[in-house]
């Protein structure tokens, strides 16, 4: 939790360099729009809420309070990304790209923002760097997928804990139950973006389930009774319509050789890994469905 807060507060650094952007690219940005003030207000809210966090709670009430705080921070961080997207045309594009980099150093640019950007936006030094890092990000995801293609999840003798039934199920049996695409959603209770996804994706889940895509939530690093209690509290509070499981000893998660959460992997009808999903999961799943439908019509 403290690591997340520290990461978000780093964003403040970029606003001390405002003069750097005075002559940078702007898309008819009105002078009154102050991205700094908006972001600072949200960061102040996160810092204020985080101070209520209870270290090592000894009661269920304490776990519930901490869980509520994590969910609220998740919503606020999600909203910061939304603010950056909506800021396009209202402030310097370089400023938006710099703040985004402070939040996520992977090179990722949300699709809703990326499709707004034009050649002029990528002509500044900051824009050129952002474009280069974005292409590197896309290439690294493609390379990662290629490295994962040899993983045959269906052949692995791995098990999951079914949360509410409190028993185990073999991963193979779970995957074979559903004919069609499926998403393995690896997440953790302390991960604010994970909790934000759990909260915001309810309606989208129903949409994709009706189109043949099933989701399985998989809790990682649930390696003690205390962590299991936290996970159960989170699942009850998030009320996800998709089923939740616990990855025994992180055996499945570790196959992907990542430390990222949320980490969402798309499997096809043959349970082959076809894509690592991102914050743009809606767009990515829509593209998969369009391609599948096109192939069906063609055949």
Q: Annotate 237-290 with DSSP letters as a single string.
A: HH--SSEEEEEGGGHHHHTT----SSEEEEE-TT--EEEE--TTHHHHHHHHHH
State the total domains in the chain.
2
Domain boundary among 110, 144, 178: 144
Residue 184 has pLDDT above 90, yes or no: yes
Residues 140 and 205 in one domain: no
Which carries the bigger pLDDT value, residue 67 or residue 264? 264
| Exposure string over 168-207, b if 16+ CB within 10 A, otherwise e | eeebbebbeebeebbbbbbbbbbbbbbbbbbbebeeebee
180 backbone φψ class: left, alpha, beta (φ>0; ψ -120 to 50): left
Tell how far CA 197 is from the center of its chain.
7
pLDDT digits (tens, 9 = 90+) for 195-216: 999 999 999 999 999 999 999 9
Q: At which of 109, 129, 144 does a domain end?
A: 144
Same domain? For 154 and 287 the reply is: yes
* pLDDT at residue 297, as a whole number: 56
Lowest mean pLDDT among 17-31, 177-191, 232-246, 250-264: 17-31
The domain that holds 248 is classified in CATH as 3.40.30.10
**Is-contact 78 193, C-beta < 8 A?**
yes
Domain boundary among 117, 144, 171: 144
Q: Does the structure show a pLDDT above 60 at 19?
A: no
Same-domain status, 171 and 205 = yes
Same structural domain for residues 14 and 139?
Answer: yes
The DSSP annotation for 198-246 comes to HHH-HHHHHHHHHTT-EEEEEE----SHHHHHHHHHHHHHH--SSEEEE
Domain that holds residue 160: 150-298
Could you tell me the two tokens for 144? 């990662």
Supply the pTM of this predicted model.
Answer: 0.82
Given pLDDT bands bounded at 50, 70 and 90, which one contains residue 72?
Answer: confident
116 and 202 together in one domain: no
pLDDT at 298: 55
Q: What's the pLDDT at 63?
A: 77
Q: Is 242 found in the same domain as 123? A: no
């Amino acid at each position: 939790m403290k690591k997340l807060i520290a990461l978000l507060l780093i964003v403040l650094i970029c606003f001390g360099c405002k003069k750097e952007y005075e002559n940078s690219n702007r898309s008819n940005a009105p002078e009154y729009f102050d991205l700094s003030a908006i972001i600072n207000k949200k960061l102040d809210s996160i810092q204020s809420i985080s101070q209520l966090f209870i270290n090592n709670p000894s009661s269920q009430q304490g776990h519930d309070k901490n869980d509520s705080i994590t969910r609220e921070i998740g919503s606020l961080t999600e909203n910061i990304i939304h603010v950056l997207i909506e800021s396009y045309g209202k402030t310097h594009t370089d400023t938006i790209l710099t703040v985004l980099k402070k939040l996520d150093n992977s090179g990722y640019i949300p699709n809703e923002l990326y499709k707004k950007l034009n050649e002029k936006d990528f002509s500044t030094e900051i824009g050129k760097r952002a474009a280069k890092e974005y292409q590197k990000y896309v290439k690294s995801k493609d390379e990662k997928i290629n490295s994962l293609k040899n993983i045959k999840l269906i052949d692995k003798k791995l098990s999951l804990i079914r949360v509410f039934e409190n028993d185990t199920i073999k991963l193979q049996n779970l995957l074979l139950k559903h004919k069609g695409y499926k998403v393995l959603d690896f997440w953790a209770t302390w991960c604010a973006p994970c909790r934000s996804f759990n909260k915001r994706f309810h309606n989208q889940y129903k949409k994709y389930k009706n189109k043949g895509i099933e989701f399985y939530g998989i809790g990682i690093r649930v390696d003690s009774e205390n962590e299991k209690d936290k996970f159960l509290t989170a699942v009850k509070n998030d009320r996800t319509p998709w089923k939740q499981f616990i990855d025994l000893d992180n055996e499945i998660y570790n196959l992907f050789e990542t430390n990222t959460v949320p980490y969402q992997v798309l499997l096809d009808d043959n349970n082959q890994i076809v894509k690592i999903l991102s914050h743009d999961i809606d767009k990515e799943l829509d593209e998969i469905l369009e391609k599948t439908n096109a192939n069906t019509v063609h055949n």
